[in-house]
């Protein structure tokens, strides 16, 4: 019976991971409407925030269980799992509910997951780097750096705007995702 679960477990993990990545890619291709001032706000999909909340809740439940059923022998493992799950979950929650990219007529603004704000004029963008491994697009103006996560809803709109403003194609900017 255990062999059957091993046989089913790994394909199931692969299928769930593939589904999640395809879902996030489809979300990044969604169209985003501008507001009254012509600004377009790009945010991370709700799925990321919910996944982060579930991870954080699991971590907190491990901590609460450890405090209610205190055993000195298990405290190390409980703290490890608390830090692991909250350490994975909290950044996802912050990405969903704090992080945003705003495309404005005169430039691009970013609010990081810690609330730090950056603004860059379209004309000042000197370098565009795409890091597929990190899942982000980095914009440099010589002094400041703005990171745009590829999972944001409307990522393709951002790439189109960069292409139009900088006069470069996706390939020239090093963006392999389509």
- Rounded Cα–Cα distance for residues 68 and 145 (Å): 46
119-131 pLDDT, tens digit per residue, is 999 999 998 888 8
Task: Choose among 143, 156, 176: nearest CA to 103.
Answer: 156
- Rounded Cα–Cα distance for residues 110 and 96 (Å): 13
Within 8 A by CB and 6+ apart from 67, the residues are none
- Rounded Cα–Cα distance for residues 29 and 129 (Å): 19
DSSP letters spanning 122-149: GGG--EEEEETTTTEEEEE-SS-EEEEE
Tens digit of pLDDT per residue, the chain (178 long)? 667 677 787 788 888 888 887 887 777 777 778 888 889 999 998 888 999 999 999 999 988 888 888 777 778 888 899 999 999 999 999 999 999 999 999 999 999 999 999 999 999 999 888 887 888 899 999 899 999 988 888 888 898 899 998 888 888 888 875 5
Task: Choose among 111, 123, 105: nearest CA to 35.
Answer: 105
Q: Where are the domains of the chain?
A: 30-44+99-178
Phi and psi of 73, rounded to 5°? -75, -30
Do you know the residue count of the chain?
A: 178
- Rounded Cα–Cα distance for residues 82 and 100 (Å): 28
The CATH classification number of 30-44+99-178 equals: 2.30.29
């Amino acid at each position: 019976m255990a062999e059957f679960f091993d046989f089913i477990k790994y394909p199931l993990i692969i299928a769930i991971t593939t589904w999640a990545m395809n879902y996030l890619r489809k979300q990044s291709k969604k169209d985003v409407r501008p507001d009254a001032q012509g600004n377009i706000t790009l945010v991370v999909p709700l799925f990321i925030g919910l996944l982060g909340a579930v991870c954080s809740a699991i971590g907190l439940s491990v901590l609460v269980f450890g405090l209610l059923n205190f055993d000195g022998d298990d405290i190390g493992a409980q703290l490890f799992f608390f830090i692991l799950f909250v350490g994975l979950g909290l950044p996802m929650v912050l990405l969903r509910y704090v992080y945003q990219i705003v495309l404005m007529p005169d430039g691009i603004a970013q609010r990081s997951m810690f609330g730090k704000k950056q603004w860059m004029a379209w004309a000042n963008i000197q370098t565009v780097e795409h890091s597929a491994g990190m899942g982000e697009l980095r914009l440099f103006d010589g002094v400041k750096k703005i990171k745009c996560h590829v999972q944001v809803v409307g990522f393709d709109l951002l790439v189109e705007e960069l292409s139009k403003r900088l006069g470069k194609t996706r390939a020239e900017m090093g963006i392999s995702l389509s």
